[in-house]
Structure 1
Amino acid sequence: MANSYAQSILRTTSTAEALDIVRRLLDLADTSVLSVDFDARVSEEPVLDALLELLPDTGWWTETDGADGASSDAGDDPHAHLPLYISGCGLPPEAVDRLIAASGTSPACIRWDFWAWPAAPEAGLDRGGPRGAYVTLCLNAQDIDLTEPAADHSLFVHVAQVEAERAPWLAARVGLRVIGELVMAPV
């Protein structure tokens, strides 16, 4: 598993506001290659059913202390193993609204994966590469790992570790500023 570094630039209760900022960030980026990855922590059957309908062949797993854990790889029934984590990779960007609706109030992350960030001459940075070229919207969570549930949503920009100056530069391009520490984020 690779890692990028992420920094929060927005906390909001409005998914519309967060998606507007995502759109503006993607307008800056080279999105000639663009896909979406999705992760959620699911505790309720109706949410699980809605997500499985959208992502019928997706992977899921449990992280229960003291147990071996169940998973889609083992052929287990997800309904018998709530709470669980569910994940979908390489999804079309058009799926975002349906994923948000299906997630309900469950902690979930939607990550836009694209080709590159633009050059940031004011920060002394050339055009970025695909490593670290992501935007993540964490729904009902404060953190990318979905361990800190919240009543609002957090938006993160990802950058390569050696290009940490790109995060505040990107935030400024969309009228915001960084509001959290730069954290390592598995992708």
Structure 2
Amino acid sequence: MSNSYAQAVLRTTDIAEALRAAERLLDLADTGELEVDFEARVSTACELERLSGAMPEADWWSLGADDRHGSSRAGDVPSDFLPLFMSRWCMPAETVEPFLAAAGTVPAMVRWDFSGWPEAPEAGLGRGGTRGAYVTVCVNARDLYLEEPAADHTLYVHVKQSEPERAVWLAAQVGLEVMGELQMAPL
């Protein structure tokens, strides 16, 4: 697993607002090769059923504090190991809305992965490559790890650790401002 660096640029209770802002950021990016990744923390059998339909062939692993450890790699039955963490990478962009509908109030994440950020001459930056080229919306969670459930949603831009000014520049391009500190994000 590698890491990225992310900066929060919007927190809202309106998921449609978060998605519109994500689209504005994606309009700046080189999305010639666009993929979407999904993650979710699942607690109930009903949530598992809904999200399994939206994330076919998802990887999963148990989150239980007890000694039971199950995973898709081991061929275990996921409903026997709730709560669990589900992940599905490389999905097409048109699957975002069905995924979010299935997620409902579950802490979940949508991450758009693309070819790079544009040149930011005002910030003294050339074109950004694939490393650090992501936009993430965390729904029903306050953090990138989906560990802090919330009634709101947070939009993040990802940049290279050595280019934090790119996050400030990107946010300004779409009428937003950075919030908090640049933080390491799981990928």
Mapped to 2, the partners of 1:60 and 1:92 lie a distance apart of 20
SS of 2:141 mapped into structure 1 = coil
* Distance in structure 2 (CA, Å) of the matches to 1:67 and 1:23: 42
Distance 2:21 2:56 in 1: 30
Partner residue of 1:43?
A: 43
Q: Does 1:141 align with 2:141?
A: yes
- 3-state DSSP class of the match of 1:33? coil
Of all paired residues, the percent bearing the same amino acid is 58
**Structure 1 residue 66: deviation in Å?**
4.5
- Per-residue CA deviations over 1:25-45 (Å, capped at 9, x if unaligned) read 010000000000000001122
**Aligned twin of 1:98:** 98
Aligned amino acid, residue 92 of structure 1: P
Q: Which residue pairs with 1:108 in the alignment?
A: 108
Amino acid at match of 1:52: S
For 2:64 and 2:45, how far apart are their aligned partners in 1? 18
Aligned residue type for 1:76: D
TM-score when normalising by structure 1: 0.97
> Which residue pairs with 2:22 in the alignment?
22
Shift of 1:47: 1.5
Aligned to 1:31: 31
Aligned residue for 1:115, secondary structure, equals: coil
Structure 2 counterpart of 1:147, one-letter code: E
1:63 is displaced (CA, Å) by 2.5
Number of residue pairs matched? 187
* Structure 1 residue runs without a partner (length 5+): none
CA distance in structure 1 between the partners assigned to 2:84 and 2:117 by the alignment: 33
Per-residue CA deviations over 1:49-85 (Å, capped at 9, x if unaligned) read: 0111122311100133342511111111111111100
Asked whether the 8 Å contact 2:55–2:99 carries over to 1, the reply is no
- Which residue does the alignment assign to 2:58? 58
In structure 2, the partner of 1:126 is 126
Q: Whole-Å Cα distance in 1 between the matches of residues 22 and 40 of structure 2? A: 19
Residue 118 of structure 1 deviates from its aligned partner by 0.4
Q: Distance in 2 between matches of 1:149 and 1:23?
A: 24
CA distance in 2, matches of 1:108, 1:90: 16
Corresponding position: 1:76 with 2:83: no
| C-alpha contact (below 8 Å) 2:64/2:81 kept by paired residues | no
2:184 maps to which residue? 184
